[in-house]
Structure 1
Amino acid sequence: MALTGCQTKNSSSGNGGGNGGGTGSASGGGGPAAGKIVIMVGGAAKVIYMPAKLTEQLGYFKDEGLNVELQDTPAGVTAETQLLAGQAQGVVGFYDHTIDIQAKDSSKCLESVVQFANVPGEVEVVSKKNQGTIKSPSDFKGKKLGVTSQGSSTDFLTQYLAGKGGVSTSQYTTVKAGADATFIGALTSGGIDAGMTTDPTVARLTKTGQGSVLLDMRTAAGTQKALGGLYPASSLYMSCDWVNANKPTVQKLANAFVKTLKFINSNSADTIASKMPADYAGGDKQLYVKAINDSKGMFTGDGVMDEGGAKNVLTVLGSFSGNVKPKKDQIDLSKTYTTEFVKAAK
């Protein structure tokens, strides 16, 4: 399945008229272009980040008078770097990056302003060859485990699951397997024995029998079983300074994204798929519809962060992360997300 949508810059059809277009870098300085809002997406074709492109496709950015440019990047950690460098005003990625960055440097502040999902939407998939030998994370010892990239949220979750199973990071090999076709190639060629990925990659691997689901974090029940509670993940996060300096624009972004979340919750997977770019289906529309249907339940209907879930993310990261563990008690969760804008959304 060649899922190549958003591989290059994708500008919305909005013209940024009026005072809707915010400017400025992540720290509030001069932005890439006057009136343009650049949002990095940590894998635009992934269903977990579907609200970004779907909002553009539905014209909701334009309705708010916003000029938004979505830029695809293969991994969330790369998107975070771009944001901190002032190359973007927002990131559609995992909420856990906001906690990780505070632990690394307390002078830096990132916050989720719209929470798309309170579960990861990630799946640990085992290759056909290893289905009989990897039956739980305790079997990760000596295995090659695929993640999007080192330092990514899939890497965080893999470390936690392995540790919970009694396997240290030195007892397995972390492999940068990317996503989509790259991940599939790594799993089927033996480059990895198992790995963490999302739909629609999961749908393809299970359809062909090349992979089977070991841990399913697309649902609240599956997430609680794997991680001990909810784990808010897919979100729009931004620099706290930029948010404070551009509140009217952030409100318009929240309006657009909350409208999209309501659309997802009130429409069928088939209807949603029909609104997405045709190439996202990779030549198999029905499989793409299945992928959306298998994951759409993860999305919130209002963009509001689950407070207990946010605490659980800190608990998970604080159990293994070299950055977070020694500073767990110093992390101020109130600086990592806000519900101000989604609660005021139209």
Structure 2
Amino acid sequence: MSISRREFLTAVSAATALSAFPFGTAGAASLEKKSVKIAVGGRQLIYYLPLSVAAGLGYFKDEGLNVEIIDFQGGSKSLQAVVGGSADICSGAFEHTVVMQTRGQRMQAFVLQGRAPQCVLAINNHTMKHYKSLADLKGKKIGVTAPGSSSQIMANFCLHSAGIKPSQVSFIGIGTSSGAIAAIRSGQVDAFVQLDPVISMLMEHKEITVAVDTRKVNVSDKLYGGPMVAGCLYAPEAFIKKNPNTVQAIANAIVRADKWIAKAKPEDVLKVVPQSYQLGNRKLYIQSFLANRPALSKDGLIPAQAPETAKRALATVNPQIANARIDLSATFTNRFAEAANKRYR
């Protein structure tokens, strides 16, 4: 079949115009839902840095998406927003997908932000000057970002290893930023589970003693007996089935962010995140970033053993989980992250 010179030039012009736009934007018309609400518990945390980078560098817009990020005090609150229908997707801890199955609500993680929890169990040097071991925390006040959040799950797990039941301590929700710092300095809590930059800030002033540090992947894997993955994006199964192209676009943006973070200079990260994230100390934020980067995902893929590790960890503090019939294979899918990795290498 032959074509005229004019037809050939027209086709070349159209192809050139198409290539001038990001791949995702060109296919934006196929998105089932262009405006998406993502709930997150503590957006300023390095734990959720890929989400902030994807938004800050315009990766969501490149995919044709209009993303609204709704910030809550902790992971349990952001999960409630998705369950209640005020948000479409949750940027939260992976283990929530396991817990929700026991409640008859199937959630599925589709792209990873954190390879390890990045949570730190720290002792308050103001109130626990003679601390020797985790056993000393019996009867004490333990701070968590929010009741029921992943920080409390880690606290329970660490206390369990010391022979302490959750009922033998008092848990107090203290948030994730200035409120957490105030709780330590005022003596409101004797220990807490927190993330950076709060941990690095208090360490710099020697106000806390680190007891368990899952910013280190090897420490996390040893503590939990396998890959205890952390921040991810998950949504109700029904939402994913109804909006696969939209979910793919979101996964594309997060995988791009994961890859960018893996290679970025700390100074470049500072340019992307809002100044408020730095808590008034740019140098300290850089230290926090470098301490946590090894625990952030480089490709958005969830290890196959992650669901079993999460269930095992949860079972130590929740007997109902141990005996529950859970389809662990349904708690995550890598098909979106795998496709994103083929597009963005």
Same fold per TM (> 0.5)? yes
Compared CA separation, residues 20 and 268, structure 1 to 2 (3 A):
farther
Partner residue in 2 for 1:145 = 142
Match of 2:337 among 332, 342, 346: 342
* SS of 1:236 mapped into structure 2: strand
Match of 1:332 among 320, 327, 338: 327
Q: Distance in 2 between matches of 1:50 and 1:149?
A: 19
Q: Distance in 2 between matches of 1:152 and 1:273?
A: 27
Q: Distance in 1 between matches of 2:81 and 2:30?
A: 23
* Match status 1:272 vs 2:269: yes
Q: Distance in 2 between matches of 1:133 and 1:231?
A: 31
How far is 1:248 from its partner?
Answer: 0.8
How far is 1:230 from its partner?
Answer: 2.2
Deviations 1:255-283 (Å, cap 9, x if unpaired)? 11101000001112222122111221122
CA contact (8 A) 1:144 1:193 kept: yes
Partner residue in 1 for 2:287 = 290
Partner residue in 2 for 1:19 = 29
* Match status 1:60 vs 2:55: no
Letter paired with 1:50: L
Q: Distance in 2 between matches of 1:196 and 1:152?
A: 10
Partner residue in 2 for 1:185 = 182
Q: Distance in 1 between matches of 2:130 and 2:168?
A: 16
Compared CA separation, residues 104 and 137, structure 1 to 2 (3 A):
farther
Q: Distance in 1 between matches of 2:66 and 2:98?
A: 29
Q: Distance in 2 between matches of 1:130 and 1:256?
A: 44
* Match status 1:299 vs 2:309: no
Q: Distance in 1 between matches of 2:269 and 2:107?
A: 30
Letter paired with 1:293: L
Q: How many residues align?
A: 318
How far is 1:86 from its partner?
Answer: 1.4
Q: Distance in 1 between matches of 2:116 and 2:30?
A: 31
* Match status 1:243 vs 2:240: yes
The equivalences for 1:77-92 within 5 A come to: 77-92=76-91
Letter paired with 1:133: H
**Which piece of structure 1 moves more, 250-259 or 220-229?**
220-229
* SS of 1:305 mapped into structure 2: coil
How far is 1:22 from its partner?
Answer: 4.1
CA contact (8 A) 1:269 1:292 kept: yes
Deviations 1:45-99 (Å, cap 9, x if unpaired)? 1110111111011110111111111111111111111101111111111001110
Partner residue in 2 for 1:173 = 170
State which structure, 1 or 2, has the greater radius of gyration over its C-alpha atoms. Answer: 2
Q: Distance in 1 between matches of 2:227 and 2:156?
A: 17
How far is 1:188 from its partner?
Answer: 1.2
How far is 1:21 from its partner?
Answer: 5.0
Q: Distance in 1 between matches of 2:284 and 2:250?
A: 31
Q: Distance in 2 between matches of 1:229 and 1:18?
A: 38
Q: Distance in 1 between matches of 2:86 and 2:30?
A: 19
- Give structure 2 stretches of 5+ with no counterpart: 1-23
CA contact (8 A) 1:21 1:37 kept: no
Q: Distance in 1 between matches of 2:27 and 2:227?
A: 39
Compared CA separation, residues 19 and 274, structure 1 to 2 (3 A):
same
For normalisation by structure 2, the TM-score amounts to: 0.88
CA contact (8 A) 2:128 2:190 kept: no
How far is 1:323 from its partner?
Answer: 4.0
Q: Distance in 2 between matches of 1:259 and 1:97?
A: 24
Partner residue in 1 for 2:75 = 76
Q: Distance in 2 between matches of 1:343 and 1:171?
A: 44
**Which piece of structure 1 moves more, 56-65 or 271-280?**
271-280
Letter paired with 1:59: G
Partner residue in 1 for 2:194 = 197
- Give structure 1 stretches of 5+ with no counterpart: 1-13, 24-34
